[in-house]
Structure 1
Amino acid sequence: MTLASIRRGYQVLRTLLQFGLDKAIPAQQRPWSLRLIKLCLFWIRDQHPGMHNGERLKLAMQALGPVYIKFGQMLSTRRDLLDDDWAEQLAMLQDKVPPFDSALARAAIEAELQAPIASLFDDFDDIPLASASISQVHTATLKSTGEAVVLKVLRPNVEQQILADLELMEQSANMLNWLLGDGNRLRPIEVVADYRATILGELNLKLEAHNAVRLRNNFIDSNALYIPYVYEDLCFPRLMVMERIYGIPVSDIAALKAQGTDLKLLAERGVELFFTQVFRDNFFHADMHPGNIFISKEHPHDPFYIGLDCGIMGSLNDDDKRYLAEVLLAFFNRNYHRIAEVYLDSGWVTSDTDTQAFEQAIKAVCEPMFNKPLNEISFGHVLLELFRTARQFKIVVQPQLVLIEKTLLYIEGLGRQLYPQLDLWQTAKPFLEQWMAEQVGPKAMYNKVRANLPSWSDKLPELPELIYDNLTMGKKLLGSQQQLLDRYIKHQRQLHKSNYLLISSASLLICGTILFNQQATLWPAIVCLSVATILWLLGWRSRPKNRKF
């Protein structure tokens, strides 16, 4: 550990203690090691007595800076780990930081382009359009076409800062895990590993550009989602150039109402977009918070979404998609047994789980949800409660499902903010039922055959030879199997004969011994013992010698 890392570690620890986060753990549950650390740092006092624990954590994250702000935002989605009041406080964290010097921005852009900005762009604005913890956005126009564009550039040395903070977070997570024990609910090592994968994906703007192009192509003819055009030849690991868009932030409800936007249609399209991305394309935007979503100003009676920031994308394998759809459908059909079966079949819980106990636990959690109207039931909270319940039965953590849950919560929150009466089930059920029918019905079989037809047609000329080879091999195999069977039958017959003679010999031996002990006439005893000896010799000699087949 470097000196800088030690200093940063002390700064983090001091901040946490200044906000009294050690008091978030009940006194009777605080390990002795944590009390010892607090005692050794006796001069650091809680400066916010009486404040709610969730608010303490939010303010501490803000004080620690951009990397921790994004960490807090990610934590706000892990409601399987945090209580709702903690998660709601962290959800209020805003990723807004002061812009860095425009001269540094110019230098970073020209270093990636390996050319002066003026040679490719006109009207470059030194005042950034937006500034966040990882990147900064400037506007300009393309010199070649005059089209309005935005240039997204990483902050100077942001990679080193993030990697240093990640190293410290990992060390802190290991220490916290040791303090709280391996069975603790927070699971800090897993949470930090999840965050590491997320934030490192945002550090490569070339990857983000590829994601945006793929998502744009998936919805190229859609009237529900628009992804700005990306100038791929001007994109690099630390620079991304894309079309400038002019929309209304999705959180600005007043502006949307003022232009007469059909909010009900917009909310329903948001739900459809989520399920289309997950189930049709298997490629979904996993960072759909309000800052990344705008609404078109054109034709407000037929509105569409504009999606930005494709740094974090998710996908599911075919099995997970089917299991997820089955869980949601089974929930609304109140088929709790099927939910338990899906969790076991998928491997989301261990195979030794008590199915009946798991089913009853699911029913106890889900059944009360039906006391309210369907349009008030949250898909995201259904998954959340199911994962919480499954945690009691040693659920196997699925990172891709955490992304799904987070994205679904975002979509539902946005949808109901736009149109509070949104009935997600009415919107999603037909989509899920149709998708499931396509996966398991005749249409699914037809699609699989059609998908494999090119491969099969290539092998068709080889089919006669393959059939002949297999029949020849089968004949040889059957012949060898018949020989083995004949040898086995012969072996069993010999064994049966030998056992019969030996058992008879043993019986006569017992009879002869009894007659001999009675001290009567000896000749019957002698006959019995003699015959027993002959039978034993015959039985022993008739035993099969070869016991291998």
Structure 2
Amino acid sequence: MRLWGITPAGSRCHTARDTLSSSASASPAPLDFLSQLLTQLGLASLASALLHEALLAARATYLVLLFLPALLTAPLAGLLGPDGRERWLSLVQWTLEHAGPAFIKWGQWASTRADLFPEDLCARLERLQTSAPGHSAAYTLAAVERAFGCPISELFEDFEEEPLASGSIAQVHRAALSDRGAALVGCGAVAGGRVAVKVRHPGVSELMHRDFVLMQRGAALASRLPGLAALRLEESIRQFGGPLQEQLDLAVEASHLSRFNDNFRAWGNVRFPVPLYPLVGSDVLVESYEEGDLISRYVRSPHRHNTMLAQTGVDVFLSMMLRDNFIHADLHPGNIVVKPPEPPSPLLARAAAWLPARVASWLLDRQPQVVLLDTGMIVTLSEADRNALLGFFRAVTRMDGRWLASEILNMSVDGCKDAEAFAAELHGVFATMDREYMRLHSQDVIRDVIDRMRRHGVTLRSSVSTVVVTSLVLEGWSSRLDPELRVLERMRGMLGGEGWGERVGAGVDRLLGAGALMEA
């Protein structure tokens, strides 16, 4: 069964939370009257500003009441022992779930920022990946017809109103193209061919923008409260808001899909959904339907293809980072599907019967494909950050703490109050460590480095931190597929020694060669 990399929607097509959010963003009748009066008096800009602030005030009132319990109990969270801390973390999770899409999205993002937040809070916020409300089928149908300017029955001969999945920004429906829909799409599409239709939630762009303004103001106030100042909420909100607008536009996601498909066109065992132009817009995106199993199924159960899947995942990440500088920033197992291989043709099967057993086995043993979903969040690095990031990984593989500290500070937002103490501490991390421990426990070592960064007040720029965290997420599931495989070990041959730029190029050429051979 094909699963999407966002929350299964089940029967939650419309929730009380939708009602709360819509009511908070609705314009009260008195405000409409005041706005019209000021407009008639030639004060349209003042009317717009007043209306904006009034809507912010209405939404802020709701959010203050919602967040108040978590804020007031924050100073006590660390004083009540592990059980009290756990209850407070549960309250934070519940609060974000009920605050709306911007706060869910922020919680998902914050769960990856161990350099900003304590590890237990990050672990709790990871659960927000499975908490997102859906919207009604009626809205979906109207949105699709509005986006493409024709009745839905003209584009699709079948459209499943029950969503396959729902995320914080959009939800996904399965459909089958009609004759007209297939003709519009072209590229070999046929009537009855299954597609995925991604529809943005109603009002999510306006609500997220409004909530982002409130999050900035709220973080500034919360940072003055005992127990919250150390969380650096203002910095986290600032970094979070940067790429947010891009993720809200499904047409941008479609362009990402096109670029990824072009970057990996030579890789026969790697693919991305294909956006089906012209059925692409800011609110609705129609793309190829990719059927398969989440890679977590292979992580849980031994399979003969596990080593290949782990190797492919690592090679894809390294190619994105070292060759393309266009990195899928959300490579958790929920966004990776394994598509079973197509069975060999009858003609090939008959021909293989006449070949030696080993040759026939090689010929008939098709490899599954790895399909990467949800490309709304990508990272591209500046030249300086890219060089510093490669230096970061090179320093880690060389186990050089002082060099590592220097590269970290090159990628940081505000540097460090005591750079020498920070460098000395990282030097101490590696001073007594042997290479075998580093190979087997590289995730723990990097997490220890990130924890020390947080204690020294060192904050990485958002794009760089995202790549580091993505490498940790990738190593987490790939090493469970193949315990002998390590991302950093794989990098060491490329980044170690002199002339490391040439080594990177040679390594990427090898990756590309492997992809081309697999396709052939």
| TM beyond 0.5 | yes
Distance 1:180 1:390 in 2: 22
User: Following TM superposition, by how much is the alpha carbon of 1:2 offset from its aligned partner in structure 2, in angstroms?
Assistant: 4.1
Distance 2:114 2:317 in 1: 20
Partner of 2:321: 278
Instruction: Say if 1:81 and 1:394 are closer, same or farther in 2 by CA, change over 3 A.
Output: closer
2:204 to 158, 161, 185: 158
User: Following TM superposition, by how much is the alpha carbon of 1:7 offset from its aligned partner in structure 2, in angstroms?
Assistant: 4.1
For residue 310 of structure 1, give the secondary structure of its aligned residue in structure 2.
coil
Distance 1:165 1:270 in 2: 36
Partner of 1:83: 118
Partner of 1:509: none
For residue 362 of structure 1, give the secondary structure of its aligned residue in structure 2.
helix
Distance 1:204 1:16 in 2: 28
Distance 2:369 2:454 in 1: 38
User: Following TM superposition, by how much is the alpha carbon of 1:228 offset from its aligned partner in structure 2, in angstroms?
Assistant: 1.7
Instruction: Say if 1:246 and 1:441 are closer, same or farther in 2 by CA, change over 3 A.
Output: closer
Partner of 1:403: 466
Partner of 2:43: none
Partner of 1:361: 425
Q: Whose relative contact order is higher, 1 or 2, with alpha carbons under 8 Å and at least 6 apart?
A: 2
Is 2:88 the counterpart of 1:23?
no
Which letter maps to 2:295? V
CA RMSD of aligned residues (A): 3.4
Is 2:292 the counterpart of 1:247?
yes
Instruction: Say if 1:350 and 1:11 are closer, same or farther in 2 by CA, change over 3 A.
Output: closer
Instruction: Say if 1:68 and 1:27 are closer, same or farther in 2 by CA, change over 3 A.
Output: closer
Is 2:180 the counterpart of 1:139?
no
Distance 2:264 2:453 in 1: 36
Query: Is residue 264–residue 270 contact of structure 2 (8 Å, CA) maintained in 1?
Result: yes
Which digits, 9 at most, give the CA deviation of each residue in 1:417-472, with x for residues without a partner? 4334533333232233499633599999xxxxxxxxxxxxxxxxxxxxxxxxxxxx
Which digits, 9 at most, give the CA deviation of each residue in 1:466-519, with x for residues without a partner? xxxxxxxxxxxxxxxxxxxxxxxxxxxxxxxxxxxxxxxxxxxxxxxxxxxxxx
Distance 2:504 2:73 in 1: 56
Instruction: Say if 1:261 and 1:7 are closer, same or farther in 2 by CA, change over 3 A.
Output: farther
Partner of 1:305: 370
User: Following TM superposition, by how much is the alpha carbon of 1:87 offset from its aligned partner in structure 2, in angstroms?
Assistant: 1.2
Match runs of 1:196-207 below 5 Å: 196-207=241-252
User: Following TM superposition, by how much is the alpha carbon of 1:239 offset from its aligned partner in structure 2, in angstroms?
Assistant: 1.2
Query: Unpaired segments of 5 or more residues in structure 2?
Result: 1-51, 183-189, 343-364, 508-520
**Which has the larger displacement, 244-253 or 322-331?**
322-331
Distance 1:50 1:385 in 2: 21
For residue 338 of structure 2, give the secondary structure of its aligned residue in structure 1.
strand
Instruction: Say if 1:164 and 1:358 are closer, same or farther in 2 by CA, change over 3 A.
Output: closer
Partner of 1:418: 481
Query: Is residue 278–residue 316 contact of structure 1 (8 Å, CA) maintained in 2?
Result: no
Query: Is residue 261–residue 303 contact of structure 1 (8 Å, CA) maintained in 2?
Result: no
Partner of 2:518: none
1:6 to 57, 75, 78: 57
Is 2:128 the counterpart of 1:93?
yes
User: Following TM superposition, by how much is the alpha carbon of 1:255 offset from its aligned partner in structure 2, in angstroms?
Assistant: 8.1
Partner of 1:431: 494
Query: Is residue 340–residue 359 contact of structure 1 (8 Å, CA) maintained in 2?
Result: yes
Match runs of 1:454-493 below 5 Å: none
User: Following TM superposition, by how much is the alpha carbon of 1:154 offset from its aligned partner in structure 2, in angstroms?
Assistant: 0.8
Query: Is residue 272–residue 428 contact of structure 1 (8 Å, CA) maintained in 2?
Result: no
Partner of 1:326: 391
Distance 1:342 1:129 in 2: 43
Distance 1:2 1:352 in 2: 38
Is 2:234 the counterpart of 1:189?
yes
Distance 2:266 2:304 in 1: 21
Instruction: Say if 1:256 and 1:59 are closer, same or farther in 2 by CA, change over 3 A.
Output: same
Which digits, 9 at most, give the CA deviation of each residue in 1:59-96, with x for residues without a partner? 22223344322221111111112221121111122344
Distance 1:417 1:293 in 2: 15
Query: Is residue 412–residue 459 contact of structure 2 (8 Å, CA) maintained in 1?
Result: yes
Partner of 1:287: 330
Which letter maps to 2:474? I
Query: Unpaired segments of 5 or more residues in structure 1?
Result: 30-47, 445-549
Q: TM-score, normalised by structure 1?
A: 0.68
Distance 2:171 2:309 in 1: 29
For residue 112 of structure 2, give the secondary structure of its aligned residue in structure 1.
coil
For residue 282 of structure 2, give the secondary structure of its aligned residue in structure 1.
coil
Q: TM-score, normalised by structure 2?
A: 0.71
Partner of 1:448: none
User: Following TM superposition, by how much is the alpha carbon of 1:367 offset from its aligned partner in structure 2, in angstroms?
Assistant: 4.3
Q: Percent identity between the aligned chains?
A: 27
Distance 2:378 2:486 in 1: 26
Distance 1:14 1:117 in 2: 41
Instruction: Say if 1:226 and 1:435 are closer, same or farther in 2 by CA, change over 3 A.
Output: farther
